[in-house]
Amino acid sequence: MHIPVRISSGLAALTLVVTTAHLAGAPAAAKAKAVKTAGDFDLTVDSIMRGPKLVGYPPTGLRWAGDSSRLYFEWRQPADDDASTWVVPRDGGQPRRLTDEERRSAPPVNGRWDSAHRRVLFVDRGDIVLLDTVAGTRRQITRTTGNEANPRWARRESAVTFTRDNNLFIVPLESGEIAQLTDVQPRKRDPRETDSQKFVKAEDGPTAVEYAVMLALIIVVCIAAVTTLGSNANSTFSFVGSAIQPK
C-alpha cells in the first residue's frame, strides 16, 4: 500500500521523533542523574563548543520502503566518523543499523521512483541500478567504464533512459540491450597557429618571388665582385713579377 506523500512525511517525522526521543530519553536521564550525583558533566564553554560530538547529529535522508512498512534514514552517532543507514519499523521500535550488504538493498536517498513507488532508479559508482524495494532485488542496468547519469523511466516504465558523454541512451528492461539515441560529438577546435607559423604563412605567395629576385641580385653582385677582385689580383701579380725580374 502506497501512502500519499503528505501523510507519509508526517508519519516519517512522527516516527523519527518518537524513536529518537526513546533512544535519547534513557541516556539523557541517566546522564542528568550522573551530573547531579557524580558531576561527570560540567556545563562549561568547552563542553558547549563540542557541538554534535556532545549531543549527536540529527537523522537525514528520510525515505520509506516501497510498501511503507519501514523507514530508512542516515544517522551519524557522536562516536562515528561517517553516517550509517538505519531502519525502523513504521509502528516504531528500536532502530537498527544496516550492514554494508543490507545497505545495498536499501532505498537510495535520491532516486527516480516509478508511479507505484516500488521500483527506484539511481546511480551507483557511475552505473545505473534498479532496486525493487518490495521484493528486495537489485538489478544492474549498466556495467561500463563510462559514467552514466540522469536515469529516467520511459515507455510506460518498461525502459530506462540515461545520459553518458552528452548522449542519450535507452535500455528496455525486457532485453537489457543498450541503444544510443543521439550522437553528439564534441566540437573540434581549430588549432591555433604560432607566431612563426603566421609569419611564414603571411610571407608566402608574391613575397617569395621578391626574395628570389633579391637572392639572384646578391649572387650577381657576388660574381661581379669576384671577377673584379680576380682581375685586380692578376694585374697586381703581373706588376710584382715584372718588378722583381733581374735586369
Instruction: Tell me, yes or no, whether 42 and 102 share the same domain.
Output: yes
Q: What is the pLDDT of residues 195-211, one digit of tens each?
A: 777 766 666 655 666 77
- State which of 140-144, 217-221, 229-233, 242-246 shows the largest mean pLDDT: 140-144
Q: What is the pLDDT of residues 61-73, one digit of tens each?
A: 999 998 889 999 9
Task: For the full predicted model, state whether its pTM sits above 0.75.
Answer: no
Looking at residue 123, its pLDDT comes to 95
Instruction: Tell me, yes or no, whether 130 and 62 share the same domain.
Output: no
Last residue of a domain, one of 162, 183, 204: 183
Looking at residue 57, its pLDDT comes to 87
Looking at residue 187, its pLDDT comes to 72
Domain that holds residue 47: 1-107
Asked if residue 116 belongs to a domain, the reply is: yes
Say how many domains are in the chain.
2
Name the β-bridge partners of 179. Answer: 170
Asked if residue 43 belongs to a domain, the reply is: yes
Q: How confident is the model at residue 130 (pLDDT cuts 50, 70, 90)?
A: very high
Q: What is the pLDDT of residues 165-177, one digit of tens each?
A: 999 999 999 999 9
Q: Please give the mean pLDDT across all residues of the chain.
A: 78
Q: How many residues does the chain have?
A: 247
Instruction: Tell me, yes or no, whether 78 and 165 share the same domain.
Output: no
Instruction: Tell me, yes or no, whether 101 and 80 share the same domain.
Output: yes
Residue 27, pLDDT above cutoff 80:
no
Asked if residue 77 belongs to a domain, the reply is: yes
Residue type, 134: V
Instruction: Tell me, yes or no, whether 102 and 175 share the same domain.
Output: no
Q: How confident is the model at residue 29 (pLDDT cuts 50, 70, 90)?
A: very low
Last residue of a domain, one of 140, 166, 183: 183
Looking at residue 216, its pLDDT comes to 83
Looking at residue 6, its pLDDT comes to 45
Asked if residue 122 belongs to a domain, the reply is: yes
Instruction: Tell me, yes or no, whether 5 and 79 share the same domain.
Output: yes
Q: Are 98 and 88 in contact (CB under 8 A)?
A: no
Asked if residue 173 belongs to a domain, the reply is: yes
Instruction: Tell me, yes or no, whether 115 and 100 share the same domain.
Output: no
Instruction: Tell me, yes or no, whether 8 and 73 share the same domain.
Output: yes
Last residue of a domain, one of 151, 183, 215: 183
